[in-house]
Amino acid sequence: MDTDDEMDPRLRQSIDSLRDTQPATDLWPGIVRQLEPRGSVRTMLIRWPVALAAGLVIAAATSVTTAILMRRTAATAPPSAGEVALGGQRPADVSTVPASFAPGDAALARAVNDLERAVRGSLNHLDAEARNSVVKSLTALDQAIAQAAARQIAAPDDPGVARYLSSTLRKKLDLLRTVNQLTQQS
Amino acid sequence: MPALRRESSGSAPVDIESLDARRAATGDQSAFERLYRRHVARVHSLVRRMAGPEAADDITQDVFVRAWDKLATFRGESAFGTWLHRLAVNVVLTRRRSEKSERSWILDDEIALADATHVTAHPAARMDLEAAIARLPDGARKVFVLHDVEGWTHEEIAERMGLVPGTSKSQLSRARAALRRMLDGHR
């Protein structure tokens, strides 16, 4: 039996002389006919959760803004011990970034974690109604992120899942930025 | 996975490749066509050698359609050509596996290898290596191409094809012997 070191020199020479060659006919027209437009099917599949998350972000940002503007002048009692940290409810712990996240998503998740820590510390500046609104939105987004992360582990090559995860992380980051700005203004 | 032993001809600088890959991932078909033009010879030659000339066009089209679908997973951690090469090997091996298990197909090769060299009984019938590779049975052909042309190890081939390394080695040995006979033009 030949080993790797015992290959016939003539055969080795023939292998080294192999050259890549174009196909006899241009295959591009047959390929381009099969290319699915980006996002067409996937968008249909994930349209409702994306819309839900987007709606939550808009609703949360609007309600927080309204609540703060309406109550900015109202006297607010110091928070009780039970109200510290999001009124007793804490957003899902996302302090660790899953290993399955792509580099871009991992960076997004780290930014979310950093900002969330800052926002948690300042949420007591908001009144109870605004705080509840923020908590509900963050909880919904955390659930969406967890579902997307689980789907990504199950289907790591699915571009639709990857886009949905990135999109949901960005929505959470946007919400946290909005809340952070509002708590600093109040 | 080994690095490619032979670089694809006419490959573009990595930054241009990555840029086109990113553009294609967002839906830019012109960028994807540029990637196709740069890599089609490499992919088609690999597929033709592994799967045979009859199926090469069809499988090559499939490779590029799948590449389009999977571009979002290309993170630029390796060269685009290397990523595409891996995908092409996967497509070829997956196709064959869906028709018959690798193991049973290797057993069939034991018989087919004996016939592969039978027709070249005269020096005048000497053939070039591409034609000789095409005459090898499926299992021996894939092992030979992956090991001797693409530079994979027996362990890598065995893992990807669901074999033991010893089977890969024996297939390679038989393939080389058959090729020598075909190239020499005698049995």
B168 and B110 in a common domain: yes
Looking at B76, B99, B122, the residue that finishes a domain is: B99
B117 and B174 in a common domain: yes
B112 and B46 in a common domain: no
The DSSP secondary-structure symbol of B124 reads: G
B106 and B95 in a common domain: no
B95 and B107 in a common domain: no
Cα Rg of chain B (Å, integer): 18
To test the contact with chain B by mutation, choose from A18, A36, A42 the residue with the greatest count of B C-beta atoms within 10 A, namely A18
Distance CA B166, CA B156 (A): 12
Residue B178 maps to a domain = yes
Mark which residues 6-35 of B lie under 8 Å from A by CB: 8-9, 25-27, 29, 32-33
Q: How many domains does chain A have?
A: 1
The residue behind tokens 């599949």 is A45
Q: What is the percentage of chain A residues whose pLDDT exceeds 90?
A: 9
Tell whether the model's pLDDT for residue A53 goes beyond 80.
no
B43: confidence class by pLDDT, cuts 50, 70, 90: very high
Structure tokens given for A180:
């952070």
Lowest mean pLDDT among A26-30, A87-91, B82-86, B159-163: A87-91
Q: Do A20 and B41 touch (CB under 8 A)?
A: yes
Distance CA A104, CA A108 (A): 6
Q: Do B129 and A10 touch (CB under 8 A)?
A: no
Q: For A102-129, what is each residue's pLDDT tens digit?
A: 777 888 888 888 888 888 777 777 777 7
Distance CA B17, CA B37 (A): 12
The average confidence (pLDDT) of chain A is 70
Residue B8 maps to a domain = no
Nearby residues of B57 by Cβ (< 8 Å), 6 or more positions away: A23, A24, A25, A27, B44
Supply the pLDDT for residue B5: 45
Range(s) of the domain holding residue A149? 41-73+92-185
User: What CATH number is attached to the domain comprising B145?
Assistant: 1.10.10.10
Structure tokens given for A32:
């381009």
Q: How many CB atoms lie within 10 A of CB A183?
A: 21
Least Cα distance to A32 among B17, B65, B78 occurs for B65
Range(s) of the domain holding residue B64? 14-99
Q: For B80-115, what is each residue's pLDDT tens digit?
A: 999 999 999 999 988 755 455 555 555 555 555 555
Nearest CB among B68, B75, B148 relative to A35 is that of: B68
Q: Do A27 and B44 touch (CB under 8 A)?
A: yes
